[in-house]
Structure 1
């Protein structure tokens, strides 16, 4: 039971008892002596009506005698009738004179209706019962996310760890064959590198998602961020025979953490290279739009189906699992990009078409002293596009 819940219950008790008291006083005093302005009962009623919890008062017959708008939003009251589960809980509360917890979650979630609604039902005063309902959807979703995360991490870590054990055993068995030892040792190195990358990205992601604040923000040159990110991707691009190009530097600046921004852009470039066929181009462009610096990474790769576009930023989600494993991808790169953007007060947007390619656009608030670009600033194709193909 939250502090707000206890406060609201106290208000409910005072609202019923105090209202009766004030009504009695009002009949005893002359008309001209009645107080003007808001009474205590009025103020308490306003608090109940504006409460974030759904408050419902039932009489001895289970009829609704008082409820606030939030109770209807949570689905506890419909057409001035309380949910049957709350009515049955009210009967139990009267019989046992104790608090009864009840799950009032909708059996059929529609639209933006809360996913999880929990309530405490207790006797308010003789003959009246109060239902205090709260929306627990965020907590339920967080717990589900935590369980999925633990399960995914366990699965992802078991794969390289198991591979290392098998490869080490193979090295022991082939101790007299130097060629086999070298071959298995190279695979051990590959799996160890993959495991190290996975652990590093898990730590980075946990810091971005946790309560840890970003380091002190500073002026960051977008041109330098792009240059460093391209340098990090240069070797992989050359190995895949992919030409990564960029537009001309324009002196844009953002307020942020340089290391995190380089990491985010590097992840976008790594994905573009990994999911593009040999010989295809990848381009990076930058511009200032409505106070945001937009850095777009465009490829002509396999593209992403519309039903997958909302999921690519989930942890461990891979569009092409076979390709991702072959390139050593962890499935965490885009999740890190999303959280880096959010921690800088920005966002990452996606436009993609299967067989055509994709454009990921990192949007970060520009440094406040920066003026808007002139009208003749070149605007690269596919820049500033959104999920679903909105240009």
Structure 2
């Protein structure tokens, strides 16, 4: 509710209370006068019982209680005159008394006559919302004040995410750009040594490729998070997505000595964008290759699970600790930063997978056990199927996937 509307309502409500309910009494007296209502046809109907019509004071109370924000009116003594349920939820009022910070702000407002803002966020850590509360305190005159509070937890979280993202992007871009500059200087200094020139030039190529990949994935992520309109979804053959993804990941697998096994075609179809789905699956396969030991295997399987189509990528690598599993889909989060940089990872691949699946009405799930391996599962609605809101099938297990995956690429 806008502040002006709430303030106007509170002014009227307090005035009504201070007058002693005069308006309510007046309406109450009028409500006792029976009257006849004229029908649309010109006749008269039976007397209407005005006792069923709420008084102005009652209507004001209803508006106050249904306000979206936490609103409380405080008397000059600090007593709570009025407070809605939301004010209690946000901590403006506790056990019938105002939060000490809110009361201190009210005293300041009464002293200088100007509205002010006060942070009423919980002092102790809370895993559940609200974690951040901001209130505006305004004078009502005659020593009365109104406190209007709002839950700003989501705003605070998004701002923190934005700051972290900007800081991470700056760092990630600065590293390869700086490396290219230093390597270029090294090439100039070793201009008369072909062997050194070749060595430094190879490093420049590797860093420029990494920089190009980072920029490309940043653009893709920006597109997926709403900066650009997504293409229209069409019928996509899941087998084609798997085939193209494995073809694109084959060079990485061969370079790392990783064997990729895949199950038989399933003939499944989804509504989606083929390019985006291939990008997501390639990211999962490349991630599995990067975190697998040499001579290990990565399996790709697909199956129909109710109203969902699942494409699972399983590795037998180092696995992911439970405390990291919720964060692996965050931008730039790395379980092992040194390993990611060595393999050229940007830290954006799994974030892209998450957003691709979300834009297709699906999700990505993770099963992992340290020392055993990990399974990332892309879940997409079957084409034309009604997807249930609550569906929690058992996640694939690496051992089971190894048995289902037959051939190799």
TM-score (norm 1): 0.90
From 161, 184, 187, the equivalent of 1:171 is 187
Q: Mean Cα displacement is larger for which, 270-279 or 122-131? A: 122-131
Query: How far apart, CA to CA, are the structure 2 residues paired with 1:6 and 1:366?
Result: 49
RMSD (CA atoms): 2.3
Indicate if the aligned counterparts of 1:256 and 1:344 stay in contact, CA closer than 8 A. Answer: yes
Query: How far apart, CA to CA, are the structure 2 residues paired with 1:318 and 1:267?
Result: 14
In structure 2, relative to structure 1, the CA distance for the partners of 1:371 and 1:221 (3 Å cut) is: farther
- How far residue 27 of structure 1 moved from its aligned partner, in angstroms, is 5.7
Uncovered stretches (5+) of structure 1, i.e. residues with no partner? 373-378, 386-391
Query: How far apart, CA to CA, are the structure 2 residues paired with 1:127 and 1:156?
Result: 55
From 84, 91, 98, the equivalent of 1:82 is 98
SS at match of 1:181: helix
Q: Mean Cα displacement is larger for which, 191-200 or 205-214? A: 205-214
Alignment of 1:290-309 (within 5 A): 290-309=306-325
Query: How far apart, CA to CA, are the structure 2 residues paired with 1:137 and 1:363?
Result: 30
Query: How far apart, CA to CA, are the structure 2 residues paired with 1:383 and 1:365?
Result: 25
Aligned counterpart, 1:215: 231
Uncovered stretches (5+) of structure 2, i.e. residues with no partner? 35-49, 389-394, 402-409
Query: How far apart, CA to CA, are the structure 2 residues paired with 1:241 and 1:115?
Result: 48
Indicate if the aligned counterparts of 1:164 and 1:188 stay in contact, CA closer than 8 A. Answer: yes
Aligned counterpart, 1:25: 26
Work out whether 1:36 is the aligned partner of 2:37: no
From 3, 6, 15, the equivalent of 2:4 is 6
In structure 2, relative to structure 1, the CA distance for the partners of 1:27 and 1:162 (3 Å cut) is: closer
Query: How far apart, CA to CA, are the structure 2 residues paired with 1:334 and 1:258?
Result: 18
Query: How far apart, CA to CA, are the structure 1 residues paired with 2:195 and 2:347?
Result: 33
TM-score (norm 2): 0.86
Aligned counterpart, 1:120: 136
Work out whether 1:152 is the aligned partner of 2:155: no
- How far residue 295 of structure 1 moved from its aligned partner, in angstroms, is 1.1
Query: How far apart, CA to CA, are the structure 1 residues paired with 2:387 and 2:2?
Result: 46
From 3, 12, 15, the equivalent of 2:13 is 15
Indicate if the aligned counterparts of 2:32 and 2:51 stay in contact, CA closer than 8 A. Answer: no
Alignment deviations for residues 153-187 of structure 1 (CA, whole Å, 9 cap, x no partner) = 11111111111111101110111111111111111
Q: Mean Cα displacement is larger for which, 3-12 or 243-252? A: 3-12
Alignment of 1:134-283 (within 5 A): 134-283=150-299
Query: How far apart, CA to CA, are the structure 2 residues paired with 1:365 and 1:59?
Result: 57
Query: How far apart, CA to CA, are the structure 2 residues paired with 1:278 and 1:315?
Result: 27
Query: How far apart, CA to CA, are the structure 1 residues paired with 2:11 and 2:400?
Result: 55
Aligned counterpart, 1:352: 368
In structure 2, relative to structure 1, the CA distance for the partners of 1:292 and 1:45 (3 Å cut) is: farther
From 76, 82, 87, the equivalent of 1:60 is 76
Indicate if the aligned counterparts of 1:359 and 1:383 stay in contact, CA closer than 8 A. Answer: no
Query: How far apart, CA to CA, are the structure 1 residues paired with 2:324 and 2:387?
Result: 37
From 43, 54, 64, the equivalent of 1:48 is 64
Q: Mean Cα displacement is larger for which, 268-277 or 44-53? A: 44-53
